[in-house]
Structure 1
Amino acid sequence: MPLPIAALRHPDVVGLLRDTGEADPTLAIRRKVEGVIEHLRCFGDPSPPLDLLVLVSLLGIRVSDRSPAHSEDAEIGPGEDGRLELRLNRERPEVRRRFSIGHEIGHTFFPGYDRSVKTRRPRKRDWSDPEDVVEYLCDRAASELLFPLPWFAEDVAGRPRTAESLIALADDYKASREAMLRRYAEVHEEAVAVVFLEWKLKPTQSNAWQGVSAGDMLLDIDPREEAEGRKRLRVDYGIVSDCFSARFARHIPADKSVDTASVAYLAARSGRGSDAEEWLDLGSVRGRFRVNAVPIPTPPGSRGPSGESMVSLVLTPLEQQKSPRRATHKPGWF
């Protein structure tokens, strides 16, 4: 995703670009990561999944036994003796800890990182907040460290494109499925999009239960429960490869629903990866696709009406279709 022009004026980004000689902040992050990985060569030829705690130590950062004081995940900053240290929430799942460590390493790529506590902010990024520019780039650093090139690109090209193979790829890199799929779309040389779906109401339905009269409640009419039953898998966001954006669009609009006959619902119900060829209409992206539906571990409060998980779809375009057809879901290998 390209950064807004205003992001290039952020003083930390200016310092990063000056330090690396790059004009693109994402390429500057990649150069920094390449330099960090070089530290591992003193132990032999590195290969993924990289030991990020070893990298932290090689960078001269102490791994503290203390929990982070300003973050639910991790933070980096001066310790009581002034020495830079990483404080990690060790109760988090391994895949989340690894991403958090990579994110904190990313903070060391910017000027003044050792003068104050830097934390991973868990919420979604907001370009109206200048600090989120740095947070986004630290997320990119984590992605580059978890899925380093050229190894990850070679694995992407060499594996069959099925949902179960994609799940195994995330496991092999000790990373979350969502983080792996984001990186998958970013590095893919072919036309590929990854669409992340959440259980949501239409925007016009989301507040339908508000303002309900006490009389309705006395009649055992609970519109909140009714609204839960109307939730559908809708687009949260999408990531597209360069080739895909040239053929369709770079942006996939949020909140567009997926047909209930889609393989996405099969994967959501079963909790297993499923594959199909089907017609999809996501607004700016419309046509017939090979679809790999990957269920995403989902907290209870974000599940579907019957406890279904959220799903990510990997889309590979097939021939263009003049009129929509209903989805067919046939799990299996292509």
Structure 2
Amino acid sequence: MRRYRSTAVQQLMDGNPNFQNPEEVIKHKVQELHESYFFLHDEDSFPINMDMLASIAGVKVKKTIMPDGISGQLIPASEGMIAQINILDPNYRQNFTIGHEVGHTFFPGFTKKKFRAEREKLFWSDRINIEDEEEYLCDFAASELLIPTSHFLEQLEELGFAVSSIPKLSSYFGASYEAIAIKMASVANFPCAILISEKGLKPSEQKQMEKEKTQLSFFEPIQFKEKLRVKYAARSSFWGNEFIPSKASIPEDSSIYIAAKTCEMIKSDAEKLEIKKFKGVFDLETYPLDFYDEEGHSTKTFTLIKQSS
């Protein structure tokens, strides 16, 4: 059996020797929870009531105001496990955080630890270190709990595999657009990636502005211009090793940028796309969200990228 760097993940696998990888174990535990939940609810009853699902898992949800940047934490208490959820977060974020905290209960020894979920941290890319390994699996659990794969595939078949389906899927499952986009990429049976772009600064520019705020100066602070940048790229398992760098700016001559500028969905076949070292000819489909800047441009887009035939 493969040995895992994370003690918690290794204990999870040691306790479930019939499974090939931790994702399979998580799916099995999620399925058991869903069976109990849908015993009490209609199979087509969505979105899932995550508070009730947590209760079935032995976790009491308590919604409260939490420090900025923290979405939730799982803490042991005399009456059992309590998931504190940031009430200031949007409902879809609260739903995912509840699922993430329930995911921690799948691991041996969870009653002896305190877990905290950071709002902006994503664990969907390749696992980088020991600490992220369990957090990645808890995000994986949250996605499965909130967006069951079998039901998701049914809805996807009905609506079509397109970024324009994301809003309807988001509403149906009570999940964020980002969670739906990542789920779409994970179930795709062909090479593709879903690129999430958002208007913002480079990390170095952001740090420079924050530094200047804390320093006294007789000069006007440097004003950097926000650009449409890669926030995250979710890749299907068939995509290969082509990496789309986060924080890189979107080329202004691309259909992605034009969709954001015109606030219209754009499909583009056989388009040459170059984002730093990522380059090639692709079929693109970009859906801009109804978030606007002072110029009336969309500040966030979702792009389906497919290899051009």
- Unmatched segments (≥5 aa) in structure 1: 320-334
Take 1:102 and 1:295, find their aligned partners in 2: how far apart are those partners? 26
Instruction: Pick the aligned partner of 1:241 from 213, 216, 236.
Output: 236
Take 1:312 and 1:186, find their aligned partners in 2: how far apart are those partners? 15
Q: Give the structure 2 partner of residue 13 of structure 1.
A: 9
Take 1:291 and 1:154, find their aligned partners in 2: how far apart are those partners? 22
Q: Give the structure 2 partner of residue 94 of structure 1.
A: 91
Q: Give the structure 1 partner of residue 144 of structure 2.
A: 144
TM-score scaled by length of structure 1: 0.75
Take 1:207 and 1:104, find their aligned partners in 2: how far apart are those partners? 31
Take 2:167 and 2:73, find their aligned partners in 1: how far apart are those partners? 29
Q: Give the structure 1 partner of residue 284 of structure 2.
A: 290
Q: Is the contact between residue 275 and residue 293 of structure 1 (CA under 8 Å) also seen in structure 2?
A: no
- Unmatched segments (≥5 aa) in structure 2: none
Structure of higher CA gyration radius: 1
Q: Is the contact between residue 99 and residue 143 of structure 1 (CA under 8 Å) also seen in structure 2?
A: yes
SS state of the match for residue 292, structure 1?
strand
Take 1:261 and 1:284, find their aligned partners in 2: how far apart are those partners? 16
Q: How far apart are residue 156 of structure 1 and its match?
A: 2.2
Aligned residue runs from structure 1 range 1-334, under 5 A = 8-21=4-17, 22-47=19-44, 48-64=46-62, 72-79=70-77, 81-124=78-121, 130-200=130-200, 224-225=222-223, 227-228=224-225, 231-245=226-240, 249-269=241-261, 273-277=265-269, 278-282=271-275, 283-295=277-289, 308-319=298-309
What's the % identity of the aligned pairs? 25
Q: How far apart are residue 99 of structure 1 and its match?
A: 0.5
Q: Deviations over 1:188-231 (max 9, x none)?
A: 112221122243566887788899xxxx976xxx5722x31xx4
Which has the larger displacement, 200-209 or 251-260?
200-209
Aligned residues: CA RMSD: 3.4
SS state of the match for residue 150, structure 1?
helix
Q: Deviations over 1:264-304 (max 9, x none)?
A: 23443465654443332233441131323343869xxxx79
Change (3 A) 1:42 1:66: same
Q: Is the contact between residue 32 and residue 109 of structure 1 (CA under 8 Å) also seen in structure 2?
A: yes
Q: Is the contact between residue 282 and residue 305 of structure 2 (CA under 8 Å) also seen in structure 1?
A: no
Take 2:10 and 2:141, find their aligned partners in 1: how far apart are those partners? 17
Please identify which structure carries the higher strand content.
2
Q: Deviations over 1:75-112 (max 9, x none)?
A: 22223x34222222223211011011000110101111
SS state of the match for residue 9, structure 1?
coil
Q: Is the contact between residue 196 and residue 312 of structure 1 (CA under 8 Å) also seen in structure 2?
A: yes
Q: How many residues of Structure 1 are paired with residues of Structure 2 in the alignment? A: 296
